[in-house]
Chain A
Amino acid sequence: MEKELKYEWNLSYRIEHWVRVLAIAVLVLTGFYIHSPFMGGGPESYTMAWMNFFHTLSAYALLLGLIVRIYMAFNSSFDRDWQDFGLIRNLKAAPEMLGYYLFLKSSYERARKYDALQAIAYPFIGIVIIFQVMTGAALYKGRLFGFINSSESFRWVSTMLGGESYTRIWHYLAMWVVIIFAGVHIYFSLLRTVTFRDKTFTSMFNGYKLKRKTS
């Protein structure tokens, strides 16, 4: 089977990915602090104020990054990949892939770019991000983008979740979903790299992945 190095991720895809990684890392760290402040501030410090500031800042980055990513899926000059995420097709292909990873099957059908479980997980995480943005906006007491009165405009979110305390709980638990996703995501990229020797892991740094020759 002939293989070739394929340019899988162009610069904009990679930048978008790493901006999200950074945003999530900052959000999780500052979020933990806001949830339960784990260091005390001294007489001249602004610990909580900075945590809040960077939390909000990264939230904007995460939201705008997602919007850019969705735009790219439909209108990228490099790779419009929105068709890869068809839910029904991927759900049909998922059991086989799951079977492979549970050692019940020896192989599974590989997709063009995202295998079934990936193509299900990524949009799901997109939804989780939207959920985080909405619950975050409901908890935020300032003006979004400088002019949307967020707590009034997003009060319906809190009402739906049963009050602001519960919005906080959901916001916190959804963060764990993101953390767990990140862990599994990194594990799978490493596992694939080791199993298939296709340079999955480094492809998000330099863009190149080893793939079957198509033509």
Chain B
Amino acid sequence: MGEKHLVSEQFLDALEFRGLSRRDFLKFCGATSALLGLSELYTPQVASAIEKASKRPPVVWLNFASDSGCTESLIKATYPNAADLVLDILSIDYNETIMAAAGKQAEEVLAKSLKDGRYILIIEGGVPTKKGHGMIAGKEMIDILKDFSGPAAAIIAVGSCATFGGVPSANPNPSQIVGVSEALKKTGVNKAVINLDLCPVNVEYLVGVVVNYLLLGSLPELDSFGRPKMFYGRIIHDNCERRAHFDAGRFVEQFGSKEETMGYCLYKMGCKGPMTSSECPKVRYNDKINWCIGAGAPCIGCAEQGWPDKFARFYERLPGVKIPGFGGIETTADKIGAVAAAATAAGIAIHAVASASSGRTKDKEKEEGK
């Protein structure tokens, strides 16, 4: 097989020792190349890129304002999973949540990475921009970000908190949390950020971007939100397994109904799939076991900028509308439309009666106005 020339036996043995058979490893490489839009023929190259990576492009993983859900999604696999191991190999030099070292030791590793530079900087969590609202070891998170972003070879923001603020930035956002690219703009650092928006990040996206970087030495093509086009180029709705039900007009009207058990489309249950771009239906979560809509929940739009505020309420199609000047009265667009139309109809009816009783409609001399 071709890959023999590209991946050393030693490396495959090492993987086998860690519980990943060479078969599974190559399968994973194949899947990764497919994810990157490369043909199967690239599998050996992907494998070799990963092997080369084992000779350490250092990764620094910083945690800011988040619940570490992305780290969870990275490490919580039921059995040694390929993506997991590959990220292990990538030598995550520093990750507060999962590294063994702590305290001074950990800080030393971090300082060394910073000095060496050219690391892949992965950031999890939003950045508080209000003074004193987010500090690590007495240092403002935004300053830490600034220091580390300079020497980084690539910056990857993982999860919706790091990309655009996510849950911690939701209204009323007392700490004025923003995403990494916004925070960098504030600190005057001009560097591209790869936004892997999702809550939590899909590990396969992360691996895809990293492998892509190792293979080509370049960052993937990004869309206008800084998300790699290869993962955010299509809306959920266009790949959804329930799409046939949508097109047919078969909808779940209520949870717990017969329609729900039939797996009908969740559009009327507030599914945001039609306005959310991500490859979730194909890549899925937890070793491709399942994903939101597959599990019967509507997509809540976590791959998009402005989530969650602009995608609430999750189980309704459209958000409520606040009418300004009425003490924050919230209503629905439907009510506004209906009331306006009813008022118009009433106005017309009254005017018609008034016109008739004023005699205007009868007076032939008044034709043509003046």
Q: Are A47 and B348 interface neighbours, CB within 8 A?
A: no
In this complex, which of B267, B333, B334, B336 has the most chain A Cβ atoms within 10 angstroms of its Cβ? B333
Does A92 touch B at the CB level, under 8 Å?
no
Q: Are B247 and A184 in contact (CB under 8 A)?
A: no
- Whether A22 is near chain B, meaning CB under 8 Å from some CB there, is no
In the bound assembly, the distance between CA atoms of A1 and B304 in angstroms comes to 67
Among B92-100, B124-132, B338-346, the stretch that binds chain A is: B338-346
User: Is there contact, CB below 8 Å, between A191 and B341?
Assistant: no
Report A195 CB to chain B, min CB distance, Å. Answer: 5
A37 touches B249 (CB 8 A): yes
Using known A-B contacts A108-B369, A197-B367, determine if residue A183 contacts B344 with beta carbons closer than 8 Å: yes
The verdict on A155 contacting chain B, using a C-beta distance below 8 Å, is yes
Residue numbers in A under 8 Å from B275 (CB-CB):
139, 164-165, 168
Given contacts A141-B238, A152-B224, A172-B333, contact A165 B311 (CB under 8 A): yes
Q: Does B251 count as interface, using CB distance less than 8 angstroms?
A: yes
Within 8 Å CB of A141, what residues of B?
Answer: 235, 237-238, 274
Query: With contacts A45-B248, A184-B348 known, is A110 near B370, CB below 8 A?
Result: yes
Contact B224 A45 (CB under 8 A): no
Q: Mark A101-136, 1 if CB is under 8 A from B, else 0.
A: 101001111100000000000000000000000000
Interface size range on B against A: 35 or more
Tell me if A163 is interfacial: C-beta within 8 Å of chain B. Answer: yes
Contact A49 B247 (CB under 8 A): yes
> What is the 8 Å Cβ interface bit string for chain B, positions 220-249, against chain A (1 contact, 0 not)?
000110000000000101100000001111
Check if B367 sits within 8 Å of A196, measured CB to CB.
yes
Contacts of A29 in B (CB 8 A): none
Contact with B along A57-96 (1 / 0, CB 8 A): 0000000000000000000000000000000000000000
Which of B146-154, B194-202, B357-365 lies at the interface? B357-365
Using A37-B249, A41-B249, A176-B336 as known contacts, say yes or no to A166 and B310 having CB atoms under 8 A apart. Answer: yes
User: Given the complex of chains A and B, what is the CA–CA distance between A2 and B14 in angstroms?
Assistant: 103
* B38 is an interface residue with CB less than 8 A from chain A: no
Would you call A198 an interface residue if the criterion is a C-beta within 8 Å of the partner chain's C-beta atoms?
Answer: yes
Q: Sample 24 A-B pairs with CB under 8 A, ordered by A number.
A: A3-B368, A35-B317, A37-B268, A43-B248, A44-B248, A45-B248, A51-B249, A103-B354, A106-B366, A107-B366, A107-B369, A109-B370, A139-B275, A141-B237, A151-B235, A168-B318, A169-B319, A175-B337, A180-B341, A183-B344, A194-B355, A196-B369, A197-B364, A212-B368
> What 0/1 readout, one digit per residue, does chain B (296-321) give for beta carbons within 8 Å of chain A?
00000000111000110000011101
Q: Is the CB of B341 within 8 A of A1?
A: no
Please name the 9 residue pairs, one residue from A and one from B, whose CB atoms are nearest each other, closest first: A41-B249, A47-B249, A163-B310, A41-B248, A49-B247, A176-B337, A164-B275, A163-B306, A48-B249
Instruction: Indicate the member of B249, B361, B367 with the most A CB atoms within 10 Å.
Output: B249
Total A-B residue contacts, Cβ distance less than 8 Å: 126
Contact B251 A40 (CB under 8 A): yes
A106 to B341, CA, bound (A): 28
Identify which of A101, A162, A191, A198 contacts B367 (C-beta below 8 A).
A198
Smallest beta-carbon distance A44→chain B, Å: 8
Chain A residue numbers with a CB within 8 Å of B274 are 141
Given A103-B358, A169-B319, decide whether A41 and B250 contact each other with a Cβ distance below 8 A: yes
Min C-beta distance of B277 to chain A, whole Å = 8
Assembly CA distance A93 to B142 (angstroms): 59
By a CB distance below 8 angstroms, the chain A residues around B348 are 183-184, 187
The digit string for B265-282, where 1 denotes a CB below 8 A from any CB of A, is 001100000110000000
CB of A46 within 8 Å of the partner chain: yes
CB 8 Å contact bits of A169-213 with B (1 = contact, 0 = none) = 100110110011001100100010011111000000000000110
B352 within 8 A of A: yes
Flag whether A39 is at the interface (Cβ < 8 A).
yes
Closest to A115 in B: B369
Partner of B248, one of A46, A109, A151, A164: A46
In the complex, whether B351 has a CB less than 8 A from a CB of chain A is: yes
A214 within 8 A of B: no
With both beta carbons as reference points, the residue of chain A lying nearest to B312 in the complex is identified as A165
Closest Cβ of chain A to B62, distance in Å, is 28
Distance in angstroms from A70 CB to nearest chain B CB is 27
**Neighbouring B residues of A103 by C-beta, 8 Å:** 354, 358
Q: Which of B246, B360, B364 contacts A48 (CB 8 A)?
A: B246
A36 touches B368 (CB 8 A): no
Known: A173-B333, A198-B367, A198-B368. A180 touches B340 (CB 8 A): yes
Known contacts: A163-B306, A172-B333, A198-B367. The answer to whether A45 contacts B249 by CB under 8 A is: yes
Q: Is the CB of A36 within 8 A of B268?
A: yes
Q: Please, which residues of chain A bring their CB within 8 A of the CB of B310?
A: 162-166
Check B340–A195 contact: CB distance below 8 A.
Answer: no
A189 to chain B, nearest CB (A): 12
